[in-house]
Amino acid sequence: MRDNAATQDLLSFEDLERYQNDGYVILREAFPRRDIDLMERCARRHLAEDSPRRVLESDGRTARAVHGMHLVDPFFAALSRHPTMLGVARQVLRGEIYVHQSKVNAKLAKRGDRWEWHQDYVFWQAEDGMELPNAVNVALYLTDATEENGALNLIAGSHAFGVISPIVAEEKPAGYESMPAWITNLTARLKYTVAQGDIDTLLVHERAVSATAKAASLLLFHPNLVHSSGENTSEEDRLLLMYSYNRCDNAPVLRGSARPDFLCNPASDSLSELSLGDWNDILSAEEVSRTA
């Protein structure tokens, strides 16, 4: 496990260079197993709750994702300020930051559906009015991610091409006809996707990578990085906890006008870093509350 005490050294020069060139970097063993086990249990609790923040797979029963836990759960709010999470995001973005969005993406065993090729920033630009892609996705693996259970597929270096003109799906998917328009940002049929022709062109110049990794790994990737994921054909769930950090001076100009708070956080105040001592106290209190 990495030494979390030295926040400034979490990302090496080589890590930062890899992120700059490839649009992503993976850190192995970023958290202790105790932390990950508790995060996984808390994430599963949110996935099980019927909430507007939760979206289902196309079968209408299986949880696909749940958003905005840091807005409703003090444990996930504290995790957003953990010295590892906040430290790596600050190193990449080089400024004061806040959480634009948080979510758990779930691919449950034999039921988890695919995510089409897409970029994240185009949603934030078009739906929220985020001016620049001065943000970073910090994704924590709560379980192992394998090719069989739907690990992310990335096109290394694709972030350098900027926003690729997307295919825009205007209609809501079946079963969501009564939902607000923003639901197409979340469902199995995404509103903004990258055309297969553009994917083929990208792969002439760049390479596709399967971001497989063990639980407790940390994946940082650029919001313009083209990515997707396949179905979970395995017997094991795949859970990915993601915080999308944005620079405070890049806060969206359309905040609150179109999408709910759990997709576009209206609070853009700079986050302060927790000490590891405070984090361990929060862990202990969370463990007690779960067993009470």
Among 93, 231, 80, 85, residue whose Cα is nearest residue 153 = 231
pLDDT for 7 equals 47
**pLDDT of 38-56, one tens digit each?**
999 999 999 999 998 998 8
Q: What is the CATH number of domain 13-287?
A: 2.60.120.620
pLDDT for 173 equals 59
Q: What is the pTM of this model?
A: 0.92
Element (H, E) at 126: none
Lowest mean pLDDT among 68-72, 137-141, 168-172, 231-235: 168-172
pLDDT for 233 equals 95
**What strands, in cross-sheet order, belong to the sheet with 152-156?**
115-118, 227-229, 152-156, 207-210
Among 280, 241, 236, residue whose Cα is nearest residue 39 = 241
Query: Domain extents for the chain?
Result: 13-287
Lowest mean pLDDT among 66-75, 87-96, 113-122, 279-288: 279-288
Burial of 33 (0-12, 13-18, 19+ CB in 10 A): exposed
Inter-axis angle of helices 13-22 and 83-93, nearest 10? 60
**pLDDT of 178-230, one tens digit each?**
566 656 556 557 889 999 999 999 999 899 999 999 999 999 999 999 999 99
To the nearest whole number, what is the mean pLDDT of the chain? Answer: 90
Q: Determine how β-strand 152-156 pairs with β-strand 227-229.
A: antiparallel
Q: Determine how β-strand 54-56 pairs with β-strand 63-67.
A: antiparallel
Strand partners, 168: 192
Could you tell me how many residues make up the chain?
292
pLDDT for 176 equals 57
Query: Is the pLDDT assigned to residue 97 strictly greater than 70?
Result: yes
pLDDT for 169 equals 84
pLDDT for 224 equals 98
For residue 129, which phi and psi values (nearest 5 degrees)?
A: 80, 30
Element (H, E) at 207: strand 207-210
